[in-house]
């Protein structure tokens, strides 16, 4: 017996736009292995399936959005739309972190904000909808959640560090430097502050739970600053 959904999970189902016939699938999609133990299924198997469903839906949507695009153009767009960072953004928009079922150690280490956990849960949710209602509801949910990203993905096909390096090289500058300015927080939940600096001295800083994220965010901030300067 799958049982009824609690108020918070019912609200999440509403945000997803799907009425679950089998609420147990929604609960499973939100259950991290640290909480599952030996008696409950975790969301890992659903994540595996959801990644494949997501890839198919996005690939189909990209083909329809740009019928003349070559595979070499479509592939990086697909990668940008299904990468972990994008799924984590979707999770944040859904306020998914508050609904995750995590073990005590994972909760204490900031698991509700970890991009990897959030991304895994989004993929698992897509699989849960697919198993509960079939491909059409899963496709509808993905298209609704991804929204304008599908039509505006062109600017996201390269990561910010690559784009910034290309900007510098085009102007005869050496590649940007990424300096660790500070590190705070406990070992299990660190926060890194990274500065992205160009050879001409222009720089921006960003903070994130991993060096890679902080570097990307700092690079993106610097690119935004350069774009604003170019408009002036």
Give the pLDDT mean for 174-185: 93
pTM: 0.68
Domain boundary among 132, 156, 180: 156
Domain boundary among 99, 123, 156: 156
Clarify whether residues 56 and 119 are in a common domain: yes
In 3D space, the residue among 131, 106, 132 whose CA is nearest the CA of residue 117 turns out to be: 106
What domain range includes position 117?
7-156
| Structure tokens that stand for 37 in this block | 């133990």
Question: How many domains are there within the chain?
Answer: 2
- Alpha carbon distance 151, 157 (integer Å): 12
Contacts of 32 (CB under 8 A, 6+ apart): 42, 43, 100, 101, 102, 103, 106, 111, 117, 120, 121
Clarify whether residues 14 and 116 are in a common domain: yes
Model confidence band, residue 1 (pLDDT cutoffs 50, 70, 90): very low
Helix (H, G, I), strand (E, B) or coil at 80: helix
pLDDT score, position 154: 66
Mean pLDDT, all residues of the chain? 88
- Alpha carbon distance 132, 130 (integer Å): 5
Task: Identify the residue with better confidence: 1 or 73.
Answer: 73
Q: Answer whether residue 177 is part of any domain.
A: yes
Q: Answer whether residue 2 is part of any domain.
A: no
Angle at 159 between CA 155 and CA 162, to 5 degrees: 110
CATH of the domain at 88: 1.10.1520.10
CATH of the domain at 204: 3.30.160.20
Clarify whether residues 167 and 120 are in a common domain: no
């Amino acid at each position: 017996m799958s049982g009824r959904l609690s108020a918070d999970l019912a609200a999440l189902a509403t945000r997803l736009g799907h009425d679950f016939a089998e609420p147990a699938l929604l609960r499973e999609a939100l259950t991290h292995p640290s909480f599952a133990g030996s008696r409950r299924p975790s969301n890992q198997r659903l994540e595996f399936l959801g990644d494949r469903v997501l890839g198919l839906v996005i690939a189909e949507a990209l083909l329809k959005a740009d019928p003349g695009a070559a595979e070499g153009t479509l592939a990086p767009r697909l990668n940008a739309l299904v990468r972990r960072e994008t799924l984590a953004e979707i999770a944040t928009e859904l306020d998914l972190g508050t609904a995750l079922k995590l073990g005590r150690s994972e909760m204490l280490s900031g698991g509700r904000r970890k991009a990897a956990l959030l991304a895994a849960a989004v993929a698992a949710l897509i699989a849960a909808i697919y198993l509960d209602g079939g491909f059409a509801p899963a496709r509808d949910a993905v298209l609704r959640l991804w929204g304008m990203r599908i039509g505006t993905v062109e600017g996201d096909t390269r990561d910010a560090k690559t784009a910034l390096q290309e900007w510098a090289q085009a102007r005869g500058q050496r590649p940007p430097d990424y300096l660790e300015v500070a590190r705070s927080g406990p070992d299990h939940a660190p926060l890194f502050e990274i500065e992205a600096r160009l050879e001409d001295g222009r720089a921006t800083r960003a903070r994130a739970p991993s060096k890679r994220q902080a570097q990307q965010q700092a690079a993106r901030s610097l690119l935004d600053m350069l774009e604003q300067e170019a408009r002036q």
